Amino acid sequence: MSQPLRLGVAGLGTVGVGLLRLLQAHGPRLAEIAGREVVVAGVAARDPHKDRGLSLDGMTWFDTADRLAADPSIDVFVELIGGDDGPAKAAVETALRAHKHVVTANKALLAKHGTELARIAEKNGVALNFEAAVAGGIPIIKTMREALAANQIRRVYGILNGTCNYILTQMLEEHRSFGDVLKEAQLKGYAEADPTFDIGGFDTAHKLALLTSLAFGTRVAFEQIHIEGIERITQADIEAADDLGYRIKLLGVALLTESGIEQRVHPAMVSTDSAIAEVSGVTNCVAVDGDFAGNVLLVGRGAGAGATASAVASDVLDIARGTRHAPFLVPAAKLKPYKRAKLGQHQGAYYVRLAVFDRPGAMAGIAGRLGERGVSLESIVQRRPRGSQIGIGAKPKPGAPTPVVLITHETTEEAIRGALTAIHRDGNVSERPQMIRIEPL
């Protein structure tokens, strides 16, 4: 058997400890698969005295990730620190320049510096693997690099954040408010004390940026993504979607168009007949449309110690077996500049919820604004929320805002946004209109 593959693991949080447990549990089996033993030679973390529930015997402790990355005792640097700059970036660059392979779960780092790091890796003849950076245990990176490499990808999309999917699922199944479910998600550890990164759509956008580069052979372009979170989704939207035959999901979508590439993260309504509508709780899913393979859907655990450690270990095994790909499939020097399609020209149908003042001319004014921009309606429904406190036969207070739901025919984003801006400005609604794209899948 060949010489052992020696790992240096920086970061002993949930994923780092999960990786050590996996290697300890399956070490002999992995050695048979790889043809060589995989050992952890060194580790680096903030607190060397913390009880992590497993033995670190035989592993050299390093006080900084940068020192570990440069040490000749390791062959592969495993970065599990996190952060898009600072120690993580410095250590990864150090390892690559020292001709050491790198495995990372750091989507934020790659979304910001992925193209640059790929160039350094290729220049030094080493691997930069990041299966764990997107959708946890779902092998989407390997699928796109290998199984679908012969296809021209038309579209890649999915549910890429388990926190958001959990919140939207609980709102539907338990008829609870966004704020209430968010607090529960924080107590269960699904959401951070500051949940903005998740619920604001940024975590999904980091992952989408990597999938876009793999799908279309372009430089990583996180800054070009249109990002909306789920903060404005209400119980009224969840109920209306259910009544209309839809589920609301936070989607990341990258689409190849004639004018360029659309990259967008936003809440979307998907038909209850679609497979993605059935993906509930903290589960993730990613779908890829290839010209020959058709639609390929992968579903699984998108986070957690076990799922993410599994993805990290798969990258390590590739290195142990001598398998190496260009990080973004196409050599970094040949990655094309990113050309952004105009989001305003996106064509589709839309769900709109308005709180319309009950007064003469209000609906006529709204219809006029839609007509000015060529937005036609498939349906219009005046609806009262489920569980309304208004008794049977009782009437709302005179002049009180009336909930009205509109479903448009296909139109452009520019047209619907312009119409809603004018409707809000006219003062016929009591709050900013809610708009959610209806995504055909």
At 400 the pLDDT is 76
What average pLDDT values come out for the chain (441 residues) when binned by 10 residues? 91 95 95 95 91 89 96 97 94 98 98 98 98 95 96 97 96 95 90 91 98 97 96 96 96 94 97 96 96 97 92 97 94 95 81 94 95 95 62 55 94 95 96 95 85
Q: Which CATH superfamily is domain 345-438 in?
A: ACT domain (3.30.70.260)
CA distance 435 to 439: 13
Assigned architecture for domain 5-133:
3-Layer(aba) Sandwich (3.40)
Q: Do the strands 60-62 and 38-44 form a parallel or antiparallel pair, or are they unpaired?
A: parallel
At 390 the pLDDT is 39
At 382 the pLDDT is 85
**Among residues 100, 107, 112, 207, which one is catalytic?**
207
- H or E element in which residue 41 lies: strand 38-44
At 57 the pLDDT is 86
CA distance 78 to 88: 10
Q: Is 188 a catalytic residue?
A: no
Q: Which of 56, 98, 61 is nearest to 77 (CA)?
A: 98
At 38 the pLDDT is 96
Read out DSSP for 203-268? HHHHHHHHHHHHHHTB---GGG-EE--STT--HHHHHHHHHHTEEEEEEEEEEEETTEEEEEEEEE
Assigned architecture for domain 140-301:
2-Layer Sandwich (3.30)
Domain boundaries, the chain: 5-133, 140-301, 345-438
* Angle at the Cα of 50 from the Cα atoms of 45 and 54, rounded to 5 degrees: 90
At 391 the pLDDT is 41
At 392 the pLDDT is 41
- Can you point out the beta strands (E) in 280-413? 283-290, 294-301, 347-357, 377-382, 401-408, 411-412
Phi/psi-derived region of residue 245, left when phi > 0, alpha when psi is between -120 and 50, beta in every other case: left
